[in-house]
């Protein structure tokens, strides 16, 4: 069911210097998984709490499937919003087994249908074998899957997830992220996930909004956020990269110390404009045959590849992912060439 926020604003207390959520407008399509990505304190949890009905917004509207949940003259209490929630601390009932935890909120009249639905949801998250286990007999990742099954079981019109993986090991996280996405899609759920971890956001979500100080900087697909960040903040926060200085010399042409770089500029600038050009590690290709040389100043072995930090002649740095059979020492000067399709340039700061 489509979720819409219109100019949502929430300020805590009269003494607050700035609004925790500031005129936030966004829409998550029915069956789609949206994400709010941003640093700690940017207002993500406050948005979710407003949608769930745990906070009352100062102004703005919240709509689900066209129905107003919150607005200037309207307020649906949390228990009538039909929203499923998953938090970072699982919040399972410790004395109930997995099955009873999932069945807890179900309203089906007879025990048989409640049990069937709960088992169906446990199967969806791959835990049908663990139905009789108590929460403390399950791993953190398994507990979080029970929490998701419980949130999905009553057919909520919307599922909200607040940093659901932040208590889990890095290895468990990415795999669980895939399972969570698959379960949400299998149920056709509309969901909004909150995280400060870009890898999680990319793994799960169809669309991502980057938040900063209560405002939305950009709402786009992961691919567009990465390749065409609308602001310098988004460029820095999403993915890795560095900036090099350039001068626009014509449409889609920028003169830099690495030569003339060609590609589509996300925002056209007039000739002569000074820009800082974003270079992603995958734009910088190591090529022994290239006359362009850069010095290795840092190397990080990541298994299949190295991530080299390179110093360019001007002293600017660039990052490059290089297959790990190209094993170069710090101080070595290696050949590079650029492969950029999308030029992202911001006015020189």
Q: What, of ligand ADP, Mg ion, none, does residue 46 touch, CB below 5 to 8 Å by kind?
A: ligand ADP
What are phi and psi for residue 225, nearest 5 degrees? -60, -40
Q: Strands 207-212 and 59-64: what pairing?
A: unpaired
Pick the binder of ligand ADP from 24, 28, 38, 142 (CB under 6 A). 38
The Cα 7–Cα 26 span in angstroms is: 9
Please tell me the count of residues contacting Mg ion according to CB under 5 A.
1
Q: Which one, 45 or 144, has the nearer CB to ligand ADP?
A: 45
The residue among 158, 197, 182, 176 whose CA lies nearest residue 29 is: 158
Q: Is there binding between residue 41 and ligand ADP (CB under 6 A)?
A: yes
The Cα 168–Cα 173 span in angstroms is: 6
Q: Which one, 104 or 233, has the nearer CB to ligand ADP?
A: 233
Give least dist CB 147 to Mg ion, A.
17
Give least dist CB 142 to ligand ADP, A.
25
- Cβ–Cβ contacts within 10 Å for residue 66, how many? 8
Give least dist CB 49 to ligand ADP, A.
8
Give least dist CB 43 to ligand ADP, A.
4
Q: What, of Mg ion, ligand ADP, none, does residue 41 touch, CB below 5 to 8 Å by kind?
A: ligand ADP
Reported as type and span, the H/E element at residue 271 is none
Q: What, of Mg ion, ligand ADP, none, does residue 78 touch, CB below 5 to 8 Å by kind?
A: none
Give least dist CB 22 to ligand ADP, A.
10
Q: Between the CA of residue 348 and those of 127, 196, 257, 277, 331, what are the distances in Å? A: 53, 28, 15, 9, 29
Q: Which one, 194 or 319, has the nearer CB to ligand ADP?
A: 194
Give least dist CB 57 to ligand ADP, A.
13
Q: Is there binding between residue 309 and ligand ADP (CB under 6 A)?
A: no
**Interface region with Mg ion, contact rule CB under 5 A, candidates 38-46, 147-155, 229-237, 337-345:** 38-46
Q: Is there binding between residue 45 and ligand ADP (CB under 6 A)?
A: yes
Pick the binder of ligand ADP from 7, 12, 74, 155 (CB under 6 A). 12
Joined together, the tokens standing for residue 307 give 């991530």
Give least dist CB 45 to ligand ADP, A.
3
Q: Which one, 26 or 182, has the nearer CB to ligand ADP?
A: 26
Q: Is there binding between residue 54 and ligand ADP (CB under 6 A)?
A: no
Burial 233-255 (b: 16+ CB within 10 A, else e): bbbebbbebbbbebbbeeeebbe
Joined together, the tokens standing for residue 185 give 């899609």
Q: Is there binding between residue 42 and ligand ADP (CB under 6 A)?
A: yes
| Inter-residue contact 105 to 84 (CB < 8 Å) | no
| Inter-residue contact 336 to 303 (CB < 8 Å) | no
The Cα 349–Cα 345 span in angstroms is: 11
Q: How many helices (H) and strands (E) does the chain have?
A: 8, 23
Residues contacting 4, CB < 8 A, separation 6+:
26, 27, 28, 61, 62, 63, 64
Q: Is there binding between residue 46 and Mg ion (CB under 5 A)?
A: no
Q: Is there binding between residue 40 and ligand ADP (CB under 6 A)?
A: yes
Q: Is there binding between residue 42 and Mg ion (CB under 5 A)?
A: no
Q: Is there binding between residue 45 and Mg ion (CB under 5 A)?
A: yes
Q: Is there binding between residue 20 and ligand ADP (CB under 6 A)?
A: yes
Residues that bind Mg ion (CB under 5 A): 45
Residues that bind ligand ADP (CB under 6 A): 12, 20, 38, 40-46
């Amino acid at each position: 069911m489509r979720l819409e926020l219109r100019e949502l604003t929430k300020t805590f207390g009269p003494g607050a210097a700035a609004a925790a959520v500031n005129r936030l407008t966004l829409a998550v399509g029915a069956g789609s998984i949206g994400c709010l990505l941003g640093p700690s304190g940017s207002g993500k949890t406050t948005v979710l709490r407003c949608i769930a009905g745990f906070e009352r917004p100062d102004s703005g509207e919240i709509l689900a499937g066209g129905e107003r949940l919150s607005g200037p003259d309207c307020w649906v209490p949390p228990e009538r919003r039909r929203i499923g929630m998953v938090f970072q601390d699982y919040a399972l009932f410790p004395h109930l087994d997995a099955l009873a935890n999932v069945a807890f909120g179900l309203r089906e009249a007879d025990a048989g249908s409640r049990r069937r639905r709960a088992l169906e949801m446990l199967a969806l998250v791959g835990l049908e074998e663990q139905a009789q286990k108590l929460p403390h007999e399950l791993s953190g990742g398994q507990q979080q899957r029970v929490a998701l099954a419980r949130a999905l079981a009553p057919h909520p019109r919307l599922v909200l997830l607040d940093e659901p993986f932040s208590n889990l090991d890095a290895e468990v996280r990415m795999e669980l992220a895939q399972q969570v996405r698959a379960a949400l899609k299998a149920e056709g759920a509309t969901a909004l996930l909150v995280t400060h971890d870009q890898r999680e956001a990319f793994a799960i979500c169809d669309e991502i909004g980057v938040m900063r100080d209560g405002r939305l900087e950009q709402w786009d697909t992961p691919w567009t956020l990465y390749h065409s960040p609308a602001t310098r903040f988004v460029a820095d926060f999403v993915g890795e990269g560095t900036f090099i200085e350039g001068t626009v010399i014509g449409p889609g042409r920028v003169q830099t110390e690495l030569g003339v770089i060609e590609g589509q500029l996300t925002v056209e600038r007039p000739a002569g404009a000074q820009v800082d050009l974003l270079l992603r590690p995958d734009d910088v290709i190591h090529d022994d045959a290239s006359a362009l040389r850069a010095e290795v100043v840092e190397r990080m072995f990541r298994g299949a590849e190295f991530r080299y930090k390179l110093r360019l002649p001007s002293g600017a740095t660039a990052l490059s992912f290089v297959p790990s059979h190209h094993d170069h020492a710090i101080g070595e000067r290696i050949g590079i060439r650029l492969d950029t399709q999308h030029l992202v340039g911001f006015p020189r700061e």
